[in-house]
Structure 1
Amino acid sequence: MPRRTATMLASTLVLIALVCAGLLIRVPYSEMSPGPTVNTLGKVDGEPVLQVTGHRTYKTSGHLNMTTVRVTGADYNMNLVEALYGWLGHDSLVVPHDTLYPDGKTEQQSTQENAEEFSQSQESAKVAALTELGIPVSSRVVVSTVIKDSPAQGKLHAGDVIKSVDGTAVERPEDVAKLVTRHKPGQDVTFTVIPAKTAAAAEKAGKEPEGTEKITLTTRKAPKENRAIVGIQAGTDHTFPFEIDIKLADVGGPSAGLMFSLGIIDKLTPGQLTGGKFVAGTGTIDDKGKVGPIGGISMKLVGARNAGARYFLTPDDNCKSAASDTPDGLTLIRVKTIDDAKKSLEKISSGNTAGLPSCSTG
């Protein structure tokens, strides 16, 4: 066999061996890639994403697209070839597995957590939108969860409205823990609550719940900490003056909050917030309208541009990263609050985009 042929054959065999090894070697990485985008002003499977009942709505146009990211599952074992391909590619991102699934979190646990965050983001989006429009929303502190085998089990229930602890009025969820931890483990603490069933009936009737009960619990020492607990997590529940339904399946996490709130505002106000333009974006939202950062910003930018977006509403804390790798034809707009986003959309609608707040790498 000629030396040249032997060398080529040997090189080919080595290459095949390396590829086979790369396919067999598993690495502790996961992949993120652009997910679908959804127009919050549009429909999915024939159903409007945002449905308002009991209040006048107005015609909308254009796009206010929420963006998503696809990720490999917690049990997926990426091989070396896939990792290298992802690192070299532009439309995907390879990250350490623990970034997506910290502390050994299973895919089921991650899915459940994302579903809870998505539900909470919808509530905050409604509150932020109505507050921005000056429409009153009543809120109250409630029992969010009760821990199994805790002092509260069987005595307090999810949905119970917490009016006071030891006679001190409760205004925020964090007030509950502060009042409980004034006690030493083993001491009694008294909750004044409106039972969940009573509160639910009042909400259905459009009234404020009334009729309190006093529940006394004996505190317990927290695991690994010398502080008193009763075994509940407090949260906030809201009563809206009319019904707002957000219908979107197979989406999780809190990052659609900003776009949901803007979609609600557009539907509840005359005129068209986007002026028919294609705007996408991302960002968490809290009850007061503050926009928070999200993960996977680079993949969301790619997904938005692929869908046809020209403008992208970008959380302030994500701006630097987003500006370092912005797809051609996409204009980033820095937002810190829902009011920032609304004002920027008004400029886009009018065509006066010179003063839009931008993102930079600095």
Structure 2
Amino acid sequence: MTTPTLDRTVLTAQLTDLETKALEAIAHAADLDSLEQLRVAYLGKKGELSQILALMGKLPASDRPHIGSLANTLKEKLLHTLEERRHTLHTANIAAQLAAESLDVTMPAVFRPQGHIHPLNSTIDRIIDIFVGLGYTVDDGPEMESDYYNFEALNTPADHPARDMQDTFYLPDGNLLRTHTSSVQIRHMELNDPPIRIVAPGRCYRRDTEDATHAAVFHQIEILAIDEGLTFTDLKGTVSTFLAELFGDVPIRFRASYFPFTEPSAEVDVQWQGRWLEVMGCGMVDPAVLKNVGYDPEIYTGFAAGFGVERFAMVLHQIDDIRRFYTSDLRFLRQF
């Protein structure tokens, strides 16, 4: 049997040295990461305290309780000191973060001028609000359309003379940029059964020569109502209610006109500042259009109306040139 060769005074001295060194290192730990490294170095499984305790086997049995008690006391002391230092560093970090992120409310703010809703957008919003109040829902569709949705389904086949009324931007693949939002009506009817009441706003394209009242790119809003028993009287009542809501109590007249997808058709004028202004076209949906989407024209009837947003905005805001909407001139836009 091997006789222990280590004296307890040696381990006592090592524990004392470890305490002095550890307490000083902990007191000078600069951050939480450094503090964690010290904890592992002194109290970890392979730390210095564990290495000292591993030598206890060389002590006489009578000395081991004494060294064990000293080691436990040192461990508790170091853990308490580590926790205090951790709390101090954590509090300091919070204080530094608050100082760095503090806001001086006495400093003047960076001024960014508020923008304005574009007059075209505000006009669209105002018109949609009126029709939504009448029970209509909003629908939209693609700006690049097929010939079928833009013309053929709307009773305008390839050889129809009405196509000459719309100078069109055709694309190399045979599609085109829609000339009106009437195509939205066809798409909606294909996917929905009557009754239908929709308002379809959107951007349209025609090869118009640009001047004070025409543009190649413009905005249009169309409405469509399909149900059993709808008549031209319902159309006149809807249009009259809409125009009265938008322009006030002004005289309105309906003039006979022609559109390939409505029959009968009419142009609508309002008397504005002493003269008649044409503001929209309308009519009863042609039975051929109803057949194209699978509706029975013997059961269902409907009406549609459409108008240019720019025309309405020009009248409401007394703007003399349609091109002012597209120049992004702040002197113009700040008026709205």
The TM-score range, normalised by the shorter chain, is under 0.3
Give TM-score scaled by structure 2 length. Answer: 0.20
Give TM-score scaled by structure 1 length. Answer: 0.19
Which of the two has higher C-alpha Rg?
A: 2
